[in-house]
């Protein structure tokens, strides 16, 4: 065989080996990505655990303070989260890729070819940032008011095993708003997960020994509406701000509400050190849960999936109540836990072409 023929054969085989190796590497990377859970799902699980602990802490502190003071003093626990967000780069409220308006005639055009100038672009970006801040603040105020109603329902004698899962029905409001206004779509597995999660929440709510028209019911229904609208607004705020900036302004709205409560309500003669610690932990876990929730939204998660998933925090609260607080759990609650775990798996499923 001539030298040039042997050389050509070597080049052809080498090129084939390189292409084959590249394809194998790409396939391996694709398989690794498919095995990894999406980031929005991991953030959602963190929110679920944080809120599960928060719900039990609010029961422990409920009798020592009024509902308003419980909310006001719990703001102390949010301060570390707010401080961390204040020093974070994305919490500086500068225009980001999500807040930058699209160029009306394509990227890379300037004044000379009919595009908008830099000042106009920055102005448009500033408008979107301010809109995101306003939405996050309103969501924070609504969520804060929902917390007060939730604490008051517990103070009126509502059992944690009843109030927690009942108020967790707020995804019904958020899902309805997301499907109607955001036109979000679900695949079959995710739709099944949404339905199973709602059935699980309902099973948590059903009690054999409690009257439905009890005195705390009206206050337990208020968080469903307030938290449901707040969850929808949280999704909208991350369309204009980063998850960190949106969380910062969301939690910042709790501070002026806390100040107003402290000025309006009388303080008890003495607050035990244990109550101060519980109040601080109450705010800390609430703030951590909301940070995780908005981070999940910022990772392109769907509001109609993330909201019911994180609303399954009774899955965390019920086992803790059983093994550490000595509460009894019936067959209905265990059925709800089982359905909730199945729904978590279904909600985490995404088609490859739509995975983020």
Q: Is the per-residue pLDDT at 146 higher than 90?
A: yes
CB 147 within 8 A of CB 173: no
**CA 175, CA 184: separation in Å to the nearest integer?**
9
C-alpha dist (Å) from residue 190 to 99, 233, 285, 342: 29, 22, 28, 11
82: its two tokens: 């707010």
Q: For 73-87, what is the mean pLDDT?
A: 90
User: For residue 164, which of 48, 304, 284 has the smallest C-alpha distance?
Assistant: 48
Question: What per-residue confidence (pLDDT) applies to 247?
Answer: 85
**CA 347, CA 310: separation in Å to the nearest integer?**
11
Q: For 187-207, what is the mean pLDDT?
A: 76
Question: What per-residue confidence (pLDDT) applies to 196?
Answer: 85
Q: For 80-95, what is the mean pLDDT?
A: 68
Q: For 162-170, what is the mean pLDDT?
A: 78
**CA 70, CA 64: separation in Å to the nearest integer?**
9
Question: What per-residue confidence (pLDDT) applies to 108?
Answer: 39
End-to-end CA distance of the chain: 53
**CA 119, CA 109: separation in Å to the nearest integer?**
14
Residue the block writes with tokens 């300037």: 110
Question: What per-residue confidence (pLDDT) applies to 107?
Answer: 39
Mean pLDDT of the chain: 76
For the chain, the domains span 37-102+116-347
CB 284 within 8 A of CB 80: yes
Q: Is the per-residue pLDDT at 262 higher than 60?
A: yes
213: its two tokens: 């028209």
Q: Write the CB contacts of 135 (distance below 8 Å, at least 6 apart in sequence).
A: 233, 236, 237, 240
- The tally of CA atoms less than 13 A away on the side-chain side of residue 288 is 17
| Burial class, 284, CB count within 10 angstroms (exposed 0-12 / middle 13-18 / buried 19+) | buried
Instruction: Answer left, alpha or beta for residue 56, where phi above 0 means left and psi between -120 and 50 means alpha.
Output: alpha
Question: What per-residue confidence (pLDDT) applies to 66?
Answer: 92
3-class SS letters over 250-310: HHHCHHHHHHHHHHHCCCCCCCCHHHHHHHHHHHHHHHHHHHHHHHHHHCCCCHHHHHHHH
C-alpha dist (Å) from residue 352 to 77, 100, 349: 40, 28, 9
Which residue did the predictor score with more confidence, 115 or 350?
Answer: 350
Backbone phi and psi for residue 95, each to the nearest 5 degrees, phi listed first: -60, 135
**CA 80, CA 282: separation in Å to the nearest integer?**
13
Residue the block writes with tokens 């329902």: 153
Q: Is the per-residue pLDDT at 279 higher than 90?
A: yes
Question: What per-residue confidence (pLDDT) applies to 27?
Answer: 47
Q: For 103-112, what is the mean pLDDT?
A: 39
Q: Is the per-residue pLDDT at 201 higher than 80?
A: no
Q: Is the per-residue pLDDT at 223 higher than 60?
A: yes
Q: For 85-91, what is the mean pLDDT?
A: 66
Lowest-pLDDT choice from 164-168, 220-224, 225-229: 164-168
**CA 166, CA 161: separation in Å to the nearest integer?**
9
Question: What per-residue confidence (pLDDT) applies to 117?
Answer: 55
Q: For 14-42, what is the mean pLDDT?
A: 59
Lowest-pLDDT choice from 223-232, 270-279, 320-329: 320-329
Q: Is the per-residue pLDDT at 253 higher than 90?
A: yes
Which residue did the predictor score with more confidence, 348 or 83?
Answer: 83
Evaluate if pTM is beyond 0.75: no
């Amino acid at each position: 065989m001539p030298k040039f023929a042997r050389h050509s054969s070597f080049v052809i085989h080498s090129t084939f080996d390189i292409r084959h190796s590249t394809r194998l590497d790409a396939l391996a990377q694709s398989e690794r990505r498919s095995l990894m859970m999406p980031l929005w799902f991991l953030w959602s699980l963190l929110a679920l655990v944080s809120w599960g602990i928060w719900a039990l802490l609010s029961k422990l502190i409920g009798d020592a303070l009024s509902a308003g003071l419980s909310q006001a003093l719990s703001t102390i626990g949010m301060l570390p989260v707010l401080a961390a967000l204040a020093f974070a780069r994305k919490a500086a409220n500068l225009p980001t890729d999500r807040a930058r308006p699209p160029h009306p005639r394509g990227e890379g055009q300037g004044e000379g070819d009919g595009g908008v100038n830099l000042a106009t672009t920055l102005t448009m970006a500033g408008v979107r940032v301010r809109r995101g801040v306003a939405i996050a603040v309103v969501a924070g105020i609504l969520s804060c008011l929902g917390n007060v109603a939730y604490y008051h329902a517990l103070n009126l004698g509502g059992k944690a095993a009843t109030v927690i899962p009942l108020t967790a029905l707020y995804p019904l409001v958020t899902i309805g708003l997301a499907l109607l206004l955001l036109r979000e779509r679900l695949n079959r597995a995710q739709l099944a997960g949404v339905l199973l999660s709602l059935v699980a929440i309902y099973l948590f709510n059903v009690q054999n020994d409690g009257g439905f028209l009890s005195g705390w019911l009206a206050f337990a229904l208020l968080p469903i509406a307030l938290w449901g609208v707040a969850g929808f607004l949280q999704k909208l705020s991350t369309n204009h701000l980063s998850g960190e900036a949106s969380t910062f302004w969301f939690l910042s709205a709790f501070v002026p509400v806390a100040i107003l409560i402290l000025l309006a309500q009388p303080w008890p003669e003495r607050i035990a050190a244990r109550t101060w610690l519980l109040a601080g932990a109450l705010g800390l876990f609430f703030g951590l849960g909301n940070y995780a929730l908005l981070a999940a939204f910022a990772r392109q998660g769907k509001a109609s999936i993330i909201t019911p998933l994180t609303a399954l925090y009774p899955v965390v609260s019920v086992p803790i109540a059983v093994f550490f607080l000595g509460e009894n759990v019936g067959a209905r609650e265990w059925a709800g836990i089982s359905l909730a775990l199945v729904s978590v798996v279904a909600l985490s499923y995404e088609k490859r072409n739509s995975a983020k």
